[in-house]
Structure 1
Amino acid sequence: MMNLARSTTVTLIAVLVAFLPRPGNAEVSVGPNAAAPGLLLAGGEDPFVWPTFDIVRFHVDPSLILNATGAANGDKGPAFAMDPVTGAPVVVWAWWDGSDYEIALSEWTDGAWSPWQILTDNAVDDLDPAITIDPAGTRRVSWWRAGQSPQVWLLERFASQDGWSPEERVTQIVEDGSRPGVVAVSGLVRVAYQREGQNLREIVVSTREGAWQPEILASTAYLGPAGDGDIDVVAHQQQATIWVDWITADGLLAYRVYDPQTDTWSATETQPYEWNTAAGETEYWARETARTLIRRRVTP
């Protein structure tokens, strides 16, 4: 095993098979010779909608690869954050335990991927985890729990504590929610998610100010690229800049940016994208490229 010390800067690499009609499997591994943390992902830099785990580069030391049998097991795609204290990646995903999905976490520490932490334990599917890590090293994981009334949940682990906090429900008792993203600035936590309305999908951001305070950013009748209602709501954070984007129509992302000075969100703006299927291009890659353009536009 290659020994990468905790203080060594590492790179999280996702190598995807290009020109597939839909995203292929991803290899999640560390690279010992990188100069800075990064992500090799053609067409975009946001791993929130990665495909699932696998081995793509068979010459790589297998000890560097996380969950290499995830695709065969039926696991869903990973999301990651870089720990600003150690510079190492922390990865979360929905793990198939043989009867339903639970939320799993592993991080690169002391030259190896840590034993998986299984953060949930129940008989209902726990899906689509997102993770953020603040400058002090506090980890926050948000996900949704399927069922008759889907709910969004949050777990926290402070750098000064060994264990995780009890599960905290983000959605209100009378609302459902799914497919969340989580950000935190100066200890203020916000979770974005989609909520089913009357023939509409609502984009909601809930802020924890004592109790959770939900705010509707937008709504759309669009059913998503696959027609299954998934409009891919993603919360982004780069230093103190926060924005949320979602798919609002075929080939069109919408987004709003938070202004901390006025405690308000900007007017909705859009970013179109297009792709040529005949040339091997996919909606997925075009969408992630559009997200990169939005990131460049809204961040300093």
Structure 2
Amino acid sequence: MANNKEDIRKLLKKLRKYEISIRKAITTQLQGDFHSVFKGSGITFDDVREYQYGDDIRSIDWNATAKGHSVYVKTYKEEREQIVYMMLDVSASQEIGDPGHQKVDIGKEICGVLTLSAIKEASQVGLLCFSDQKEAYVKPSKGEKHAYQIITKLYNTQPVSTKTNLQAGISYLLNIIKRRSIIILISDFIDEDYTSSLKALARKHDLIVIHLSDKRETQLPSLGIIPVYDKESRKTIWVNSSSSYFQSKVNSTYAGTKEQLENFCRKHQADYLSIATEDDYIPKLINLFRVRNRIRKSA
């Protein structure tokens, strides 16, 4: 237990250093005009009123308009507090990479540093770790003590299941969230049949997709017929790693997933960020928040 606490203290020290780097870089870039890096749309539906000249036609409430003799638009009120959910895939496919730098390790670090950043901005932060089931959940709250609770939960969670079910994880979160929130979904997205759930998440919330990968998944050496161990199914299969068909299939699978996610996020106004285990992810996170702040400032 003592070793665990010491490891968590070291991790916290590392994450605080990263968090400070993010905040300083964004503040410098915006020359002091620093809005919360987690600021979402921050609005909820309030009422409807008659359309006035200059109103955005996208705000028209067509249901209310169809019932009356005038055109009505939706009005909104600003939310004072932002809720941020960290949603981390901890299935066995995440256990790829160098020791201490596997996809799951990078995912936990990203969750930790963003939790600290969000807490500093007085946001409420919640956590869901999932495989094909809920592995860990922490209700949203504020304060540094709560951030420590989340980071401890991240570090100590030992998944019960090895499998992935993105659809189940997303559905679980959709069922418990009561108001519009920022959702940071971190996964390698090695799964199928989750697009409709992801679409619902993007429609109802401010979605940030962080796509993790490792070079071992796409840069396989040509070693002839070799055994490959599938961590999720716990089975070993034999493949011809020198086969051009096998190599192209592997490359197209991962390239296709990346392209599909990028297109999805562009279409549904979600943010997309690709991070490999060998990357320095801090500059990528900084750039993501610069873009988010620039868009929200001009909105």
TM-score under structure 2 normalisation?
Answer: 0.28
TM-score under structure 1 normalisation?
Answer: 0.28
Structure that is richer in helix per residue = 2
Structure that is richer in strand per residue = 1
Larger radius of gyration: 2
